Amino acid sequence: MIFNYLLSINNNMISIINNNDSELDFILFDVERSFVNDLRKTMMNDVPTHAVHEVIIENNTSSLFDEFIIGRLALVPIELNDDEIETVEFHLNMKVDKTTNILSNHLISNNNINIVPDLLLFQLHKDQHLQLSIITKKGTGKEHAKWDPTSGVCFTYQNGKYHFHLESIGHMPAIDILRTALNIMKKDHVKSIELLAELNN
């Protein structure tokens, strides 16, 4: 896998220290502070993701308030790799005859888009019925924090090197956040083109 391959890279400009889907640690060499600040801001504000934009509750006989249900659903990360899709609809229609955990897997999309699986959303009890629709929309963290793909991006400066720690909220692997940000920045920064070349080799 490319993730395992990147772990062994130790180039002149970037060194990947730790990499998994949710976290990425890397070091940047020979870059200016302005570039480092722009990279951090771009990862947080300009990488497009999908997030819950609207929840329509059609029937709710559970003990849960509509506002609580909407709040829980808004936290579900949407994994979507197709840049052409602007909105996705998910539907849930559950009537249970015993206490049942409602998981993210129970959300069915109108075009076979998968949601992050096995996330516990809430619990329904005997004879309770919940029917709702969710509309997701593509956006960026610049518009609203719900589209920020990161749960944290920080860096320190030590011995002429910038040490980055990046955490993904779940919309996409952390390494893809970095790669997407560099692609966005390459129009303004030659360094972005050089870093992308090293990541993709």
Structure confidence by residue, pLDDT tens digits, 39-97? 999 999 999 999 999 999 999 999 999 999 999 998 888 887 667 788 989 999 999 99
Q: Where in the chain is the domain with CATH 3.30.1360.10?
A: 2-47+145-200
Which residues neighbour 184 within 8 Å (Cβ) at sequence distance 6 or greater?
A: 42, 46, 47
Helix, strand, coil % over all residues of the chain, rounded to 5 = 30, 35, 35
Buried b (16+ CB within 10 A) or exposed e, 147-185: bbbbeebebeeeeeebbbbbbbbbbbbbbbbbbbbbebb
What is the value of pTM for the model shown? 0.81
pLDDT band at 129 (very low <50, low <70, confident <90, very high): very high
Fold (CATH) for 2-47+145-200 = Gyrase A; domain 2 (3.30.1360)
pLDDT band at 2 (very low <50, low <70, confident <90, very high): very low
Q: Where in the chain is the domain with CATH 2.170.120.12?
A: 49-139
What number does CATH give the domain 49-139? 2.170.120.12
